[in-house]
């Protein structure tokens, strides 16, 4: 089974993290949360945004960024940032990729980005726009990786509840 990892470094907004948790749950991606966070895991806004998908979620918490890197050594890290010099869709993502996203208000630490220039990825935007919403950015990144992998182990065809597609004209 292919493994995709989503990393949120010091997330601040529980609704964003809840939405991202739901994206991870429905795609089979693992969620990694790096403290300090701007909320507690029991926050009702976090749970509400994730709806009833929490039982599908594989989630790990880390005390800080150093703890995360120590416990995931050997992973392939890709840093999603407005400061990136490469377009996210131009990258090839191997199995066990870690898509790393920073705080909603500050992004990832610039020292980390500076040390990894070839892994700093940007989603194209107009000049005057600051950034996309974090949960939207994660969804775009997740589905690009899964598209490249051929959507492994995901249901690729839906069905109607009152009609049979096979009987359509």
Is 97 marked within a binding site? no
Task: Say which DSSP state 73 is in.
Answer: T
Beta-bridge mates of residue 122: 87
Q: Is 26 helix (H, G, I), strand (E, B) or coil?
A: helix
Q: Could you give the strand order of the β-sheet that contains 59-62, starting from the edge strand earlier in sequence?
A: 59-62, 30-34, 4-9, 97-101, 76-80, 120-122, 86-87
Is 123 marked within a binding site? yes
Three-state SS sequence of 80-136: ECCCCCEEHHHCCCCCCEEEEECECCCECCHHHHHHCHHHEEECCCCCCCCCCCHHH
Tell me how far apart the alpha carbons of residues 5 and 20 are, in angstroms, rounded to a whole number.
12
Is 2 marked within a binding site? no
Burial of 42 per CB tally in 10 Å (0-12, 13-18, 19+): exposed
Going by the annotation, the residues of the binding site for S-adenosyl-L-methionine are: 102, 123, 131
Going by the annotation, the residues of the binding site are: 102, 123, 131
């Amino acid at each position: 089974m292919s493994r995709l990892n989503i990393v949120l470094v010091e997330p601040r907004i529980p609704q964003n993290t809840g939405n991202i948790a739901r994206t991870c749950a429905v795609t089979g991606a693992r969620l990694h949360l790096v403290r300090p966070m701007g909320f507690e895991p029991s926050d009702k806004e976090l749970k509400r945004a994730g709806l009833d998908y929490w039982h599908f979620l594989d989630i790990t918490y880390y005390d800080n960024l150093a703890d995360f890197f120590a416990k995931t050594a050997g992973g392939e890290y890709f840093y999603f940032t407005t400061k990136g010099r490469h377009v996210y869709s131009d990258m090839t993502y191997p199995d066990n990729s870690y898509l790393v996203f920073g705080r909603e208000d500050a992004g990832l630490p610039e020292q980390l980005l500076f040390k990894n220039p070839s892994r700093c990825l940007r989603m194209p935007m107009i000049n005057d726009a600051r950034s996309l919403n974090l949960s939207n950015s994660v969804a775009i990144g997740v589905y690009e990786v899964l598209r490249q992998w051929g959507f492994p182990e995901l249901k690729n065809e839906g069905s109607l509840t009152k009609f049979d597609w096979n009987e359509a004209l």
